[in-house]
Amino acid sequence: MRGIFISIEGIEGTGKSTQATLLAKYLKEKGYGVTQTAEPGGTRISFRIRELLLSPESTDMEPMTELLLYNAARVQHIKEIVMPALLRGEVVITDRFSDSTMAYQGYGRGIGLDLIDSLDSVATGRLRPHLTILLDIDVETGLMRNRKLQKHDRLELEDISFHEKVRKGFLGMAAREQERIRLVDCSGDIEAVRRNIVGIVDAFFDALQK
Ligand code: TMP
C-alpha cells in the first residue's frame, strides 16, 4: 500500500464533510492525488445499506443488525474505493471509518467493545487510518447545527444522553491513541478549524519525509 489514509471523525454537527472537502482541496492544490469519500457510503451497495441504516422508518432495527450493516457497508467501501485509491498512491480522506463504529455502536449502544473489535478485524483486515482528525464540539451545539441543516436521520434522532456517550467514547479513544487520533475543537468558525487541520496534516506529511 503506497497511499495515505486519513479519516475525519466526530459526533453530529461537527462539520466533518465541510472540513473533508476543504482538506481535499488543499491537498490537491499541493499536488497530491486525492480521493474523498464517506461512510456509510462511497459505493452503490454501501449507499443502499446507508438508506436502510439511516431511515427514520428503521425504528425496529436491532443494535446487532446495525453493527453488522455498518461493517458490511465498510467491506464494500474498502474493496471498491479505499484500497484501489491507496494502491494508486493517493491520499484517501474519509468522512468516518471504524472509530465511528466503536463510538456509536460500542460506547453509544453498549455492544461489547471486544466484539466490535473482532468484527472490525474481519471487515477491515486491520486497515487503519494513518491519521485521524477528531472534530469535537459539545453535543447540544452539534445537534443544533444539524437541526438548522434540517438533518433528521435515525441516529440523529437519538436522545442527548446517547450522543453524550458517543462523544465520551470518541474522546477516550483519542486519549488512548494520541499518535493517530488528533483532537480538533470545532466550536470556532470554519476557517479557523480548517487552518488547525491543515497544520496537523502538514506536520504529519513533514514527519513522513524525515
Ligand atoms: P453522517 O453521514 O451524517 O455522518 O451519518 C452517518 C450516521 O451513521 C451518523 O449518525 C453516525 C452513524 N454511524 C454509526 O453509527 N456507525 C458507523 O460505523 C458509521 C460509519 C456511522
Closest among 126, 153, 139 to 56, alpha carbons compared: 153
User: pLDDT tens per residue, the chain (210 residues)?
Assistant: 689 999 999 999 999 999 999 999 999 999 999 999 999 999 999 999 999 999 999 999 999 999 999 999 999 999 999 999 999 999 999 999 999 999 999 999 999 999 999 999 999 999 999 999 999 999 999 999 988 887 778 888 889 999 999 999 999 999 999 999 999 999 999 999 999 999 999 999 999 988
How many structural domains does the chain have? 1
C-alpha cell belonging to residue 92: 484517501
The residue type of 147 is: R
pLDDT tens digit string along 80-119?
999 999 999 999 999 999 999 999 999 999 999 999 999 9
Predicted confidence at residue 1, as pLDDT, reads 64
Q: Which helix (H) or strand (E) holds 94?
A: strand 91-95
Neighbours of 199 (CB within 10 A): 12
Contact 145, 13 (CB under 8 A): yes
* C-beta of 155 in contact with ligand 1 (< 6 A): yes
Provide the pLDDT for residue 201: 98
Q: Calculate how far, in angstroms, residue 197's C-alpha sits from the geometric centre of ligand 1.
A: 21
Q: How far is CA 189 from CA 11, 171, 180, 199, in A?
A: 17, 21, 24, 16
What span, in angstroms and rounded, lies between the C-alpha atoms of 184 and 85? Answer: 26
Q: What is the pLDDT at residue 198? A: 98
For residue 25, give its domain range.
4-209
CATH number of the domain that 155 lies in?
3.40.50.300
47 vs 18, 38, 89, 131, 181, CA distance in Å? 20, 10, 25, 25, 27
Task: Report the distance separating Cα 126 and Cα 118, nearest Å.
Answer: 10
- Which ligand 1 atom is nearest residue 96's CA? 20
Instruction: Determine the Cα–Cα distance for residues 154 and 20; give it in Å rounded to an integer.
Output: 23
Say if residue 16 carries a ligand binding annotation. Answer: yes
Q: Judge if the beta carbon of residue 170 lies within 6 A of ligand 1.
A: no
What pTM was computed for the model? 0.97
Centre of ligand 1 to C-alpha 70, Å, is 8
The answer to whether 15 is a known ligand-binding residue is yes
Nearest to 37 by CA among 87, 100, 88, 80: 80
Q: How far is the CA of 179 from the centre of ligand 1 (A)?
A: 24
